Structure 1
């Protein structure tokens, strides 16, 4: 993830001198990674159910590394787009989550998923701080060579992982498992859509409204993320111990909606930090609890395929959030964009609560 995130902050500027560059082609080069990821998550998950998680993770990382080499050697935008698409073919996020779920006890699974989510968040924050210095030193080609090296290191690390365990978990019937997977697939789509939407709006908002220049934005993101991490682990343990996930998740979506709504009002920089803390806390809770619930309720049989479906919607949500967020920002401005995201989260909180209550009523009947 670090190799992927390092490219994003500097790509548009460094690719401008490449033959065939246009903003549309550069945008395609950025976005096509997410599209190929979304398309291949479920097939890779299906393959991991049949041939083993480790083999498929190694194959996916090999594709990612090969895509990095193609991108590093690219002399035209077309070749660069092809390299980025090949990088996206290493679609192993769902396989990795399934592997983690295979090796974690059900009662500890939310914490394990939280650790994975935190490591991704830490990679994102670190990339924000090191991408500019590294791009000055290595250039765009050098950054892609570095992503290839990181992919190879990841392959070597996979070989050190233990073999999968045989699971004896009790699971839902197939119809119940299918409906819960689709509920959480749609939920993670919305979750990552509003996260991407926030980062479409927030950087410009911090500069224009508060005079907070781009190189200092980490001073907002890092304290908010670290604060949310400190709070989310005890909260997850409390929720998991009491099996309150069904109540906590709609509440977390409501918190997301309130945070986005308050951000749209502006106010002080301190208020923005508090809203960001609340947003990241709710985001991290959902990011950990939802895949944990999917793995608990569906069991090990076909887990890779089901987690692949889940992560497909995760990547599609990020793509849609960027697309719709950019359109809303141009159409109605920052207030409209954040308000729309907040309203959608509040609506989904109600819809999710109604779904869980309906499921409880069906079980009691």
Structure 2
């Protein structure tokens, strides 16, 4: 060996060139990093879901508190007629339906948070006008302005933006549970609060709820982190969007029809007074949620929400068609539980599926279209339900709604195989 090489080798510290000892590496193993990252993402998603659920629930609580007592309390206003009162009730849903898509379009350009704040501010100002109204035209104007705060689609779009596809059914379920909870709370509190505060006081409550919602939205970051998604097989095809929009139209039309026709049937046919109806709704809703959550976890993990759609509508059909026969309390409770289960699965599963097939781009506009049909369904269900109640009675109206759900479920069974070819993204 040449002398100069030996000299250089004598000066080399071979310890510096040893391969690093993995046991002494300061970095965490990948197996430890991933669960920590997943837990962090899950916590963030649940935090957003809780905030959005509270915002929507507060807004819906203000609306639900008024529904059971409005027709009675509005009688004393100058200009009252059944037609004007019906218009005051329905104009909110009409303006909501008309503005859902424009608000979704704006949220795609301005961001979700500014549009949510704008919608809640309009809802609050409309509540002030309605609370101060001294005539039916003024009350109708206030209700119409409240409806201009069309943020349902924007809130769902934000929920989809910040959650992973496999978690969306659960997150949408949390938001749906908030809405269901506000409905059940309104059933118990509406009459006592109306006797204490009057119609004007109830509208002031809606203002307070809107301001609380604004405070909650302000806790959301201006630009929340969005989940990066790959293209779905159905993205770019508008037919699945229309299919889901028509489905939510039917879902909410039937829901409104149910609560127009079922309460009189409970009172007249089953002898269950109005003050006791919560004893039927609260336990059955709670039980349906307990059954729903594990189902949503499973379909969310597989991204297979579309497989639920036909069976959920068939469950609605069976419960609605058999309700007039449920004279015994256990049978009636079981049928209402099945109805709430089908409704909640659809209410959570369809927005999750829609958010996935539309992708991130233009999501607000498409969610707005979906919410437009949602509110149109509620409006039409109320009108049709009232008409059928007066002409053919509750039993026939519910049977007819069940038949429509059965036909739609059978149609979806055929169409979902064509329009939703896979349950996986990418």
Count of matched residue positions in the alignment of Structure 1 and Structure 2: 363
Partner of 2:325: 265
Q: Deviations over 1:29-50 (max 9, x none)?
A: 0110000000000000000000
Distance in 2 (CA, whole Å) between partners of 1:290 and 1:259 is 20
Q: What is the TM-score with the length of structure 2 in the denominator?
A: 0.83
Match of 1:19 among 78, 89, 96: 78
Moved more, 158-167 or 46-55: 158-167
Distance in 2 (CA, whole Å) between partners of 1:312 and 1:185 is 8
SS of 1:91 mapped into structure 2: coil
Distance in 1 (CA, whole Å) between partners of 2:355 and 2:383 is 30
Q: What is the TM-score with the length of structure 1 in the denominator?
A: 0.96
Any unmatched runs of 5+ in structure 2? 1-59
Given the alignment of the two structures, is residue 180 of structure 1 paired with residue 240 of structure 2, yes or no?
A: yes
| Paired residues for 1:200-215 under 5 Å | 200-215=260-275
Which 4+ stretches in 1 moved above 6 angstroms? 360-363
Query: Given that residues 7 and 143 in structure 1 are in contact (C-alpha distance below 8 angstroms), is that contact kept between their aligned partners in structure 2?
Result: yes
Partner of 2:393: 333
Given the alignment of the two structures, is residue 295 of structure 1 paired with residue 378 of structure 2, yes or no?
A: no
Q: CA RMSD in A?
A: 1.6
Distance in 1 (CA, whole Å) between partners of 2:61 and 2:326 is 32
Distance in 2 (CA, whole Å) between partners of 1:175 and 1:104 is 18
| Paired residues for 1:78-93 under 5 Å | 78-93=137-152
Give the direction of change, closer, same or farther, for the CA distance of 1:199–1:361 in structure 2 (3 Å limit): closer
Q: Which has the larger radius of gyration?
A: 2
Distance in 1 (CA, whole Å) between partners of 2:236 and 2:408 is 20
Give the direction of change, closer, same or farther, for the CA distance of 1:191–1:360 in structure 2 (3 Å limit): closer
Give the direction of change, closer, same or farther, for the CA distance of 1:164–1:360 in structure 2 (3 Å limit): closer
Given the alignment of the two structures, is residue 104 of structure 1 paired with residue 163 of structure 2, yes or no?
A: yes
SS of 1:210 mapped into structure 2: coil
Q: Deviations over 1:103-123 (max 9, x none)?
A: 111110000000000100100
| Paired residues for 1:2-41 under 5 Å | 2-41=61-100
Give the direction of change, closer, same or farther, for the CA distance of 1:292–1:256 in structure 2 (3 Å limit): same
Shift of 1:348: 0.5
Given the alignment of the two structures, is residue 320 of structure 1 paired with residue 369 of structure 2, yes or no?
A: no
Distance in 1 (CA, whole Å) between partners of 2:367 and 2:327 is 40
Partner of 1:194: 254
Shift of 1:266: 3.8
Any unmatched runs of 5+ in structure 1? none
Distance in 2 (CA, whole Å) between partners of 1:13 and 1:138 is 14
Q: Deviations over 1:69-106 (max 9, x none)?
A: 00011011000000000000000000000011111111
